[in-house]
């Protein structure tokens, strides 16, 4: 029957389930930093997956470069979490990246609340283009994508050729389930975005993120009723 893991308590069982996935994940991270050194960056959105990734990365490289795309439209809770993370991981080189134009300049060019009439263009201006600028100076980047998250992500691999940004995208969490993410957060007493406790499993910009009903898809609250499922950062072509 092979090796069968047994646990005396549920807490031990949760820890064991997390550890089973940690082996491959940590191997991928160690390889990534060994292979790319200072020419790799982690693009963090500070969602639940992001918190797990930050903690795992801290075990491999305490001075890792971390990038956050500050669209100017995030929830106050997201900015509050970033301050907590700065205190918990002081060695990280956190780069807060802003779009080339302010929200006021965007409104003057494209009209008020562009995210309502053309969310793809808004994401392109405030997320895709700033990330492209930053990824143009490194060889690889790390993402917290999981295959379980959506149809568009179910075929992502640990190491991917990123056709959009013309470099390598590394995704150490591809086999983690939502339960695994939360087991890790709780077992390690990590800070997280308080919106997760209010039915926000996936958190992006405030105007385009809504709570979801129990049982709904984890990303159902992103761009609800628009047909849009991705901001464009993780698609090979198009604006997202």
By C-alpha distance, which of 110, 127, 162, 101 is closest to 240? 127
Tell me the C-alpha distance between 212 and 217, whole Å: 8
Tell me the C-alpha distance between 91 and 79, whole Å: 19
Tell me the C-alpha distance between 139 and 142, whole Å: 11
Question: What residues contact 58, with CB distance under 8 A and at least 6 apart?
Answer: 64, 89, 91, 92
Question: What residues contact 185, with CB distance under 8 A and at least 6 apart?
Answer: 48, 51, 52, 192
DSSP structure class, residue 228: -
User: Which residues are paired to 167 by β-bridges?
Assistant: 162
Looking only at the bridges linking them, the beta strands covering 40-43 and 140-142 are parallel
Secondary structure of residue 122 in the 3-state scheme: helix
Active-site residue flag, 117 = no
The single residue of 122, 171, 205, 231 carrying the catalytic annotation is 231
Tell me the C-alpha distance between 85 and 189, whole Å: 13
Tell me the C-alpha distance between 96 and 94, whole Å: 6
List residues with catalytic annotation: 231
């Amino acid at each position: 029957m092979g090796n069968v893991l047994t646990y005396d308590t549920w807490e031990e069982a949760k820890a064991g389930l997390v550890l089973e996935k940690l082996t491959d994940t940590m191997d991928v991270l160690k390889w990534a930093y060994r292979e790319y050194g200072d020419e790799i960056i982690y693009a963090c959105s500070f969602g639940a997956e992001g918190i797990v990734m930050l903690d795992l990365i801290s075990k491999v490289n305490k001075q890792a470069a971390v990038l956050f795309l500050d669209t100017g439209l995030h929830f106050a809770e997201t900015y509050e979490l970033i301050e907590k993370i700065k205190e918990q991981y002081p060695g990280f080189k956190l780069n807060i990246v802003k779009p080339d134009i302010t929200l006021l300049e965007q409104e003057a060019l494209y009209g008020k609340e562009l995210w309502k009439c053309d969310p793809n263009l808004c994401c392109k201006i405030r997320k895709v283009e700033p990330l492209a600028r930053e990824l143009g100076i490194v060889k690889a980047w790390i993402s917290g994508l999981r295959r379980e998250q959506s149809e568009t992500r179910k075929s992502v691999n640990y190491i991917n050729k990123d056709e959009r940004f013309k470099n390598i995208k590394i995704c150490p969490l591809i086999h983690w389930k939502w339960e695994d993410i939360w087991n890790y957060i709780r077992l390690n007493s990590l800070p997280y975005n308080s919106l997760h406790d209010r039915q926000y499993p996936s958190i992006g910009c405030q105007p385009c993120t809504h709570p979801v009903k129990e049982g709904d898809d984890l990303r159902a609250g992103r761009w609800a009723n628009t047909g849009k499922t991705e901001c464009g950062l993780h698609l090979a072509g198009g604006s997202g």
